[in-house]
Structure 1
Amino acid sequence: MPRQVDHDARRLEVAEVAARLIAQVGVERVTVRELAKAAGYSTAIVSHYFADKRQLLLFTYQAAAQNAQERVDSVLSAAPEDLEGCLTALLPLDEARHRDWQVWLSFWGMAIGDPEFAEVQRRRVIGSRKMIQGVLEAMARKGKLSGDMDFDLLSRQLLTVVNGLAVQAGFDPADWPAERQQNVLSKAIETLLGQG
């Protein structure tokens, strides 16, 4: 009897290997052949799951985004108004999160000249802003923020802080260890919310 293969798990395995390769050598140098070799599969197996490199990269980007969403969901399920915890969950504080950001940064570069990738990126940014805005609104409902604040503007500013920190940490992790990222984020939150 042939062995059953969990196709979703296999696709995620391949995406994980792709993310590691992107973090090591950059998206341009990742090939299906090198990816198959690193994953211990034949190119035929990788091609069975992904029609081409473009589809593989899109799936890898979405898998990295899902990792972040799961971290955020974990924080917000415990405390829907935990703004700092929510934003901290997005920062590249460890190796896995740093790798996710390497994938995202590579994808951002590709999105500049590709309308489909640009649309995926645009939707991801809008979703992140809405998530942050929802946390701000939860804080207001709990009396932790004034309800007359401009939550749309604040969510944009806070997402800009997270992206700025992550980009700097992505390119110079030695200068941006987890503690420094968290300290800068805390100060930015205090300043933007008028609590500092």
Structure 2
Amino acid sequence: MPRQVDHDARRREVAEVAARLISQVGVERVTVRELAKAAGYSTAIVSHYFADKRQLLLFTYQAAAQAAQARVDAVLEHAPDDLIGTIEALLPLDEARHREWQVWLSFWGMAIGDPEFAAEQRGRAFNTRKRIEKVLRTMADNGKLAKDTDFDLIARELLTMVNGLAVQAGFDPADWPPESLRKVLLQAVKPLTAKA
């Protein structure tokens, strides 16, 4: 009897290898052939799961975004008003998150000229901003933030900070180690909680 294959697990495995290759050589230099070789599969198997490189890259981007969302969900399940934990879950504070940001940065370049990729990027950014805004509102409900705070504006500022820090850390990780990222984050949120 032939062995059962978990197709979703195999797609995720290929996407993880793609993310690793993207972080090492950039999205332009990743080929289906090189990816198949790195994953230990034939190009036929990779092509069975992904019609082309574009579909593979979109899936890889979505997988990275889902991993980040799962980290945020875990933080908020434990403490729905944990702003620092929420933002730390998004920052490149370890190797896996650094790799995710390399994928996202590569994807951003592609999204400039591709309406589907651009829509995906807009949707992810919007959802992340709204999640940050929800945390801020929960903080206000719990007395940790002033009720008259402009939640949308602060969420936009914090998302912009996350993106900026991640870009800097992505291109110069030696100058932006996790402790520096956390220090900037703490400095940014300090004035918020002082207003409660």
Q: TM-score range by the shorter chain?
A: over 0.9
Corresponding residue for residue 16 of structure 2? 16
Conserved? CA contact 2:90–2:162, under 8 Å: yes
CA distance in 1, matches of 2:189, 2:164: 14
- Runs of at least 4 residues off by over 6 Å: none
Paired residue total: 195
CA distance in 1, matches of 2:152, 2:117: 25
Query: What pairs up with 1:42-121 in 2 under 5 angstroms?
Result: 42-121=42-121
Corresponding residue for residue 122 of structure 2? 122
Corresponding residue for residue 150 of structure 2? 150
TM-score scaled by structure 1?
A: 0.98
SS of equivalent to 1:89: helix
Aligned-pair CA distance for 1:99 = 0.2
Output one character per residue of 1:112-171: Cα deviation in whole Å (capped at 9) or x when no partner. 010110000000010001000000000011011111111000000000111110000000
TM-score scaled by structure 2?
A: 0.98
Conserved? CA contact 2:140–2:146, under 8 Å: yes
> Does 2:174 align with 1:181?
no
Q: Which amino acid aligns with 2:14?
A: V
> Does 2:169 align with 1:195?
no
Q: Which amino acid aligns with 1:84?
A: I
CA distance in 2, matches of 1:107, 1:20: 14
Aligned-pair CA distance for 1:19 = 0.1
- 5+ residue gaps, structure 1, are none
Corresponding residue for residue 172 of structure 2? 172
CA distance in 2, matches of 1:171, 1:35: 23
SS of equivalent to 2:90: coil
Conserved? CA contact 2:19–2:60, under 8 Å: yes
Output one character per residue of 1:29-84: Cα deviation in whole Å (capped at 9) or x when no partner. 00000000000000000000000000000000000001101111111000000000
SS of equivalent to 2:93: coil
CA distance in 1, matches of 2:41, 2:95: 25
Conserved? CA contact 2:144–2:193, under 8 Å: no
Q: Which amino acid aligns with 2:110?
A: M
RMSD: 0.9
Aligned-pair CA distance for 1:195 = 2.4
CA distance in 2, matches of 1:11, 1:173: 29
Q: Could you say if the C-alpha distance between residues 97 and 103 of structure 1 is closer, same or farther in structure 2, counting changes exceeding 3 Å?
A: same
Corresponding residue for residue 7 of structure 1? 7
CA distance in 1, matches of 2:117, 2:189: 30
Aligned-pair CA distance for 1:194 = 6.0
